[in-house]
A and B are shown apart, each in its own frame.
Chain A
Amino acid sequence: MLRMRRNLAVVAGLSASLLALGACSTTAEAPEADSTGDSAPVENTATYWEGVLTEAQGQTVDWFMWGGDDRLNAYINEYVAEEAAKYGVTLNQVNADASDVVNKILGEKQAGNVDDGSVDLVWINGENFATGKQADLWLCGWAQSLPNAEFVDWESDAIKFDFGTPVDDCEAPWNQAMSVITFDSSKVSSEDFSSVSAMVEWINANPGQFTYAAPPDFNGSMTVRRLFYEAVGGYDRLLGEFDQATYDELAPQAWEFLNGIEENLWRGGATYPQAIDEVEKLYASGEISAYISYNAGRSGLLVADGVYPESTRSTTFGDGMIGNTNYVAIPLNSPASAGAQVVANILQSPEAQLRKADPSVLGYYPAIEMGRTEFLAEYEALPVPESVLPFTQQKKNANPELNAAWLGAIEKGWIANVLQK
């Protein structure tokens, strides 16, 4: 079967439709390689990969991703795209919000487009990944077969579950995000963020200096969850499947907590910013002096660019911040799924991960175990800007993300009980 598909791909060479057919057979075959789990014979993976490389030749991969970070865009378009070109793959970054991309793929599916979709690769997060899974949009059975998957700790829950949704070999990790509190040390001390209650005290004593973007904004939603954990006495009861009774019992405490600090938020809590970019602008212009966001390395870049004040620092609550893993997924109807796998593999390569971790490039944290690569020493020697916390310190007491159903319930609950009240 393998050889047949490969021959097919070679013969088809130039025909886009047959390439797509080849991609389909990849889907059918990959679980074989996968079913043997982590001990998959190298040979099997190697032949699988050879087939992918052959198919990928000449493909153009449209990668839909959040494009709100110029440095990340430069990394993708300059470094990753160049690496992809070495495999004959043209990488084309398309700026889009993940929920819009999922809607786009859904629309294509509704229109009966099964093999010529416009999206080949998408940077996805738990909630939208779960939406796509709900509608069976993703190509599965490839992520663990990537050659660089050996550097990924597929045993870890932080990788195996994307916001509580089992990854099931339907997406590949390429980045890790830890949330941090970014604050202006000329206006507020890190002591004020030693715990959530210390922060609440600071908020109440300094009205208007803190806010978060209204969920479902990704970062605002995370901030609400972190405060939710605090208000209900920890996240233990929120893990696992969504449970309405537990939600009904706990949620009112959280709304009381969030409404309690509301009047001392930016604009007296009368409104909230709509997205994290707006929060960042408020911070840059000095309207607020602290906020919580994923993407801990970003403040270093913004300070270097002169957007943020020099006195910007990062910190974490004593009992930890929320962390998650960023993935890329491939829609089932992608006509360039082989090329997309090549790109996913490049993203996971030790060289790419090291480069991405360099604060002068991006300062994003590796999704792979750098200890499994030959670059551990270089990685550990990377300089960390003053405004950024070393990753080990961020990771301390890391809090989990919740199942997508919990997320949805908390977001809807926040809208009804905090925003609309």
Chain B
Amino acid sequence: MSFRSSSVAEPAPYGAGSAPGSAIQRSARLPGEWPDGLKVFALLSPALFLIVILFLGGFAFGFLQSLGLLSLVGDGSLSFSAYGRMFEDPAVRASLPLTLRISIISTVLSAILAVASALLIRSTKRGQKFLVTIFQLNIPIPHIVGAIAMMLLLQQSGYFSRIAFALGLVSSPAEFIPLVADEFGVGIIAHYMWKEVPFIGVVVLAALQSGVKDYEEVARSLGASSWNRFRFIILPFIAPSVSSTSIIAFAFTFGSYEIPFLLGRPFPAALPVVAVQSYRDSDLLSRPEAMATSVAITIFISILVYLYMRIADRYTGGVR
């Protein structure tokens, strides 16, 4: 794993399970509490050091290689031709719509389901704690484990297919509709939703704990319908959490390698898979193209991170 880190953009602003906690903290504890900027900087410096050296350093190294510099073979002269080759590569061209489709669909559906589940869980009177536990149960489960589970369930020789066969719904397991390595990416989307729904949902639940009830009571006493209460009170309250977690989810699904590798096809493959495919090409001359693809993914995700910060800024500013 470690030696791949320079090739694939580091897409994971959150690891298994750690993010929801920190996101909750962020929305609950606000910047005013910090005593002075210098102290903050000192406290942050170990983390900043890691980010600068490991991420920016790796990125710079990859970028230089994408220009044909630092290469072990070839003439080592500066050229942007790898980017041209990247856009002409049928693997990259077929990959873009697939990657975007997977990211957009899984993020949007996850956000909707997460909000719906959070509201439902909140409305329960008894056993809420239990429901919340169940709801966030899979957050610490590693993505790879989830992907293998998806495979066992969804593939044509998987449990769903066997159940369908046993029930006489299909005449042989092979006739079961392909859900893994399928054309659309159903297996990949299903996996991402499995992981993102609780992630977004937990953050939304936390946002819903922070005093929204009082506003709702007031609105109800003034005669607001349940739709209006949702539209004008709950939605503004949870919007920052939903949008920021969605962007994190989108960036992650766009830049993640292992899930589309395990649950997808060799062609068309998600962009990070294509990057790794050319990175692992035994011909070292294709290395610049691999780096160009990684750089493109990184830039795209960086734009998303920028958007995320803008949104976070606006809302934290607004709520204050």
Q: Which residues of A contact B (CB under 8 A)?
A: 97, 99-100, 102-104, 106-107, 109-110, 127-128, 130-131, 134-135, 208, 214, 216, 267, 270-274, 281-282, 285-287, 404, 407-408, 415-416, 419-420
B72-A110 in contact (CB<8A): yes
Known: A107-B3, A287-B173, A415-B267. A135 touches B72 (CB 8 A): yes
Output the least CB separation between B214 and chain A (Å). Answer: 54
Output the least CB separation between A28 and chain B (Å). Answer: 23
Instruction: Tell which of A99, A282, A285, A286 has the most Cβ of chain B within 10 Å.
Output: A285
A106-B72 in contact (CB<8A): yes
Contacting residues, chain B, for A135 (C-beta < 8 A): 72-73, 284
B282-A99 in contact (CB<8A): yes
Contacting residues, chain B, for A272 (C-beta < 8 A): 265-266
Q: Which of B272-293 contact A (CB under 8 A)?
A: 279-284
Contacting residues, chain B, for A102 (C-beta < 8 A): 282
State A404–B49 Cα separation when bound (angstroms): 42
Q: Say whether B200 faces chain A, with CB atoms less than 8 Å apart.
A: no
Contacting residues, chain B, for A274 (C-beta < 8 A): 261, 265-266
B280 contacts which of A216, A267, A271, A286 (Cβ < 8 Å)?
Answer: A216
A282-B282 in contact (CB<8A): no
B281-A216 in contact (CB<8A): yes
Q: Which residues of B contact A (CB under 8 A)?
A: 3-4, 6, 70, 72-73, 90-91, 94, 156-157, 173-174, 178, 181, 183, 261, 265-267, 279-284
Contacting residues, chain B, for A404 (C-beta < 8 A): 282
Instruction: Tell which of B4, B6, B91, B181 has the most Cβ of chain A within 10 Å.
Output: B181
Closest 4 CB pairs of A and B: A285-B157, A214-B266, A104-B3, A271-B265
Contacting residues, chain A, for B283 (C-beta < 8 A): 131, 408
B174-A208 in contact (CB<8A): yes
Contacting residues, chain A, for B173 (C-beta < 8 A): 286-287
A267-B178 in contact (CB<8A): yes
A416-B90 in contact (CB<8A): yes
In the complex, 14 of the A-B residue pairs with CB atoms within 8 angstroms, ordered by the A residue number, are: A100-B280, A103-B3, A106-B284, A130-B282, A131-B284, A134-B72, A135-B284, A208-B174, A271-B267, A273-B181, A274-B261, A404-B282, A416-B90, A420-B94
Known: A267-B178, A285-B157. A103 touches B72 (CB 8 A): no
B183 contacts which of A128, A270, A273 (Cβ < 8 Å)?
Answer: A270
State A128–B157 Cα separation when bound (angstroms): 34
Contacting residues, chain B, for A97 (C-beta < 8 A): 280
Instruction: Tell which of B70, B72, B94 has the most Cβ of chain A within 10 Å.
Output: B72
Q: A286-B157, A286-B173 are in contact. List 16 more A-B contacts (CB 8 A).
A: A103-B279, A107-B6, A127-B282, A128-B282, A208-B174, A216-B280, A216-B281, A267-B178, A271-B267, A285-B157, A287-B156, A287-B157, A407-B282, A408-B282, A408-B283, A420-B94
Chain A residue at minimum C-beta to C-beta distance from B73: A134
Chain B residue at minimum C-beta to C-beta distance from A100: B3
B282-A420 in contact (CB<8A): no
Chain A residue at minimum C-beta to C-beta distance from B264: A274
Contacting residues, chain A, for B284 (C-beta < 8 A): 106, 131, 134-135
State A406–B178 Cα separation when bound (angstroms): 35
Output the least CB separation between B88 and chain A (Å). Answer: 12
Contacting residues, chain A, for B266 (C-beta < 8 A): 214, 271-272, 274, 419
Contacting residues, chain B, for A216 (C-beta < 8 A): 280-282
Chain A residue at minimum C-beta to C-beta distance from B6: A107
Chain A residue at minimum C-beta to C-beta distance from B262: A274
Output the least CB separation between B163 and chain A (Å). Answer: 15
State A195–B267 Cα separation when bound (angstroms): 30
State A131–B181 Cα separation when bound (angstroms): 30
Chain A residue at minimum C-beta to C-beta distance from B183: A270
Output the least CB separation between A95 and chain B (Å). Answer: 11
Contacting residues, chain B, for A420 (C-beta < 8 A): 90-91, 94, 267
State A285–B165 Cα separation when bound (angstroms): 14
B181-A271 in contact (CB<8A): yes
Contacting residues, chain A, for B156 (C-beta < 8 A): 287
State A285–B72 Cα separation when bound (angstroms): 44
Output the least CB separation between A376 and chain B (Å). Answer: 38
State A69–B134 Cα separation when bound (angstroms): 36
Chain B residue at minimum C-beta to C-beta distance from A213: B266
Chain A residue at minimum C-beta to C-beta distance from B90: A420
State A214–B90 Cα separation when bound (angstroms): 16
Chain B residue at minimum C-beta to C-beta distance from A268: B178
Output the least CB separation between B181 and chain A (Å). Answer: 5
Contacting residues, chain A, for B183 (C-beta < 8 A): 270-271
Contacting residues, chain A, for B94 (C-beta < 8 A): 420
B174-A287 in contact (CB<8A): yes
State A281–B261 Cα separation when bound (angstroms): 16
Known: A271-B181, A274-B266, A420-B91. A110 touches B70 (CB 8 A): yes
State A214–B265 Cα separation when bound (angstroms): 10
State A147–B112 Cα separation when bound (angstroms): 68
State A272–B268 Cα separation when bound (angstroms): 11
A419 contacts which of B174, B181, B261, B267 (Cβ < 8 Å)?
Answer: B267
Chain A residue at minimum C-beta to C-beta distance from B277: A216
B72 contacts which of A109, A208, A287, A415 (Cβ < 8 Å)?
Answer: A109
Contacting residues, chain B, for A106 (C-beta < 8 A): 72, 284
State A356–B18 Cα separation when bound (angstroms): 45
Contacting residues, chain B, for A416 (C-beta < 8 A): 90
Chain A residue at minimum C-beta to C-beta distance from B273: A274
State A97–B261 Cα separation when bound (angstroms): 15
State A282–B155 Cα separation when bound (angstroms): 10
Output the least CB separation between B79 and chain A (Å). Answer: 18
Output the least CB separation between A329 and chain B (Å). Answer: 14
State A208–B265 Cα separation when bound (angstroms): 17
Contacting residues, chain A, for B267 (C-beta < 8 A): 214, 271, 415, 419-420
State A216–B277 Cα separation when bound (angstroms): 9
State A285–B151 Cα separation when bound (angstroms): 13
State A210–B73 Cα separation when bound (angstroms): 39
Chain A residue at minimum C-beta to C-beta distance from B269: A274
Contacting residues, chain A, for B4 (C-beta < 8 A): 100
